[in-house]
Amino acid sequence: MKKRLIALMTVIACILVMTGCGSSQQAPDPDAVALTETEQEQWLEAGVMFTESMRDMSANGQALTAADDPVYGPAFESWETAMKDIGEVLNITGESVEFTKDSGRISVLVDGSDHDAEVVLSLEPTQGSYDLTNVAVNVIYSFGELMEQAALNTVLGMGTTFAVLILLAFIILLFGKALNRPAKRVIVTEEAPRKAAPAPAPAVQQAAAEEENLTDNAALVAVITAAVAAYEAEAAAAAGTAKTDGFVVRSIRKARRKI
């Protein structure tokens, strides 16, 4: 076990030594342009002056005059956005200058009351000189602030993702309920036929008409009267009582027998 640990430590030490040697012996950029100290100071001074003018114009409200410019418009917008985190500008100093055959870069450090920032001016060579093509203001945050911002972005991203997934699941659930809903059963009931109530008035009128018709029939009245008289005579003879005359038929009604 001890031999293995010693071998592992030796390998790690070799890797660290090789990494240090490699970093210290980086090959220089063949396209780099060597600048004298005077040229470096001039470029740094130009970068500081540009940053100070950008600060003054933004504070005086003159940045709107350059809003339509393709270079200065985005530069002032980046500066005003960064000023929310920088706070009050305390000092502006030149940081570094790097020039190649194809581009140039000037870095200016802004010391703020809340946060520091780095103003990066990008240049391109044109006819023996360099023209400004882009200006970026990068606020320098601490490690804790970067971690907090990363955690906040992670929480927001995951929260948004879960919210969308929950919404999709709810929509799918609603679609499932809508598609699997059973059809409504229509129950048809046959209504029992209603018995028509007999109209009393026509029946009474018909009975009265029959009575009148039967009473008006003289032959029928005579026959019925004779039959009743004969029946009474026989009944009186059988009983030994006197015969009663004078029967008068007032009305004749038809007997309604239920079968």
Asked if the structure places residue 37 within a domain, the reply is yes
Listed in order, strand segments (DSSP E) in 113-202 are: 116-126, 129-140
Residues 55 and 147 reside in one and the same domain: no
Confidence of residue 16 (pLDDT cuts 50, 70, 90): low
Percent of residues in the chain assigned helix, strand, coil, to nearest 5: 55, 15, 25
Q: What is the pLDDT of residues 120-179, one digit of tens each?
A: 999 998 877 788 899 999 999 988 888 988 999 999 999 999 999 999 999 998 888 888
Q: Which domain range does residue 75 map to?
A: 31-140
Q: Which residues contact 43 (CB under 8 A, 6 or more apart)?
A: 35, 97, 99, 104, 106
Asked if the structure places residue 133 within a domain, the reply is yes
Asked if the structure places residue 230 within a domain, the reply is yes
pLDDT at residue 160, rounded to an integer: 92
Asked if the structure places residue 80 within a domain, the reply is yes
Answer whether residue 24 shows pLDDT above 50: no
Residues 148 and 106 reside in one and the same domain: no
Judge whether 89 and 79 are in contact, CB under 8 Å: no
What is the mean pLDDT of the segment spanning 86-104? 90
Q: How confident is the prediction for the chain on average, in pLDDT?
A: 78
DSSP state of 180: S
Domain boundary among 117, 151, 172: 172
Asked if the structure places residue 22 within a domain, the reply is no
Strand partners, 137: 119
- pTM for this structure? 0.52
Asked if the structure places residue 198 within a domain, the reply is no
Q: What is the pLDDT of residues 27-56, one digit of tens each?
A: 566 667 788 889 889 999 999 999 999 999
Domain boundary among 118, 140, 162: 140
Residues 150 and 83 reside in one and the same domain: no
Answer whether residue 90 shows pLDDT above 50: yes
CA distances from 130 to 29, 64, 102 (A): 19, 25, 10
Answer whether residue 208 shows pLDDT above 90: no
CA distance 35 to 79: 29
Q: How much of the chain, in percent, has pLDDT values that exceed 70?
A: 66
Residues 149 and 114 reside in one and the same domain: no
Residues 162 and 229 reside in one and the same domain: no
Residues 132 and 112 reside in one and the same domain: yes
Confidence of residue 82 (pLDDT cuts 50, 70, 90): very high
pLDDT at residue 28, rounded to an integer: 60
Answer whether residue 244 shows pLDDT above 90: no
Residues 37 and 106 reside in one and the same domain: yes
Asked if the structure places residue 183 within a domain, the reply is no
Domain boundary among 119, 140, 161: 140
The count of other CB atoms within 10 Å of the CB of residue 99 is 20
Residues 79 and 54 reside in one and the same domain: yes
The count of other CB atoms within 10 Å of the CB of residue 213 is 11
Residues 39 and 121 reside in one and the same domain: yes
Residues 216 and 133 reside in one and the same domain: no
Confidence of residue 63 (pLDDT cuts 50, 70, 90): confident
Asked if the structure places residue 202 within a domain, the reply is no
Instruction: Name the more confident of 235 and 121.
Output: 121
State the CATH number of the domain containing residue 66.
3.10.450.630
Residues 217 and 130 reside in one and the same domain: no
pLDDT at residue 189, rounded to an integer: 59
Confidence of residue 224 (pLDDT cuts 50, 70, 90): confident
Give the number of domains in the chain. 3
Confidence of residue 186 (pLDDT cuts 50, 70, 90): low
Residues 90 and 105 reside in one and the same domain: yes
Instruction: Name the more confident of 10 and 81.
Output: 81
Answer whether residue 76 shows pLDDT above 80: yes
Judge whether 46 and 106 are in contact, CB under 8 Å: yes
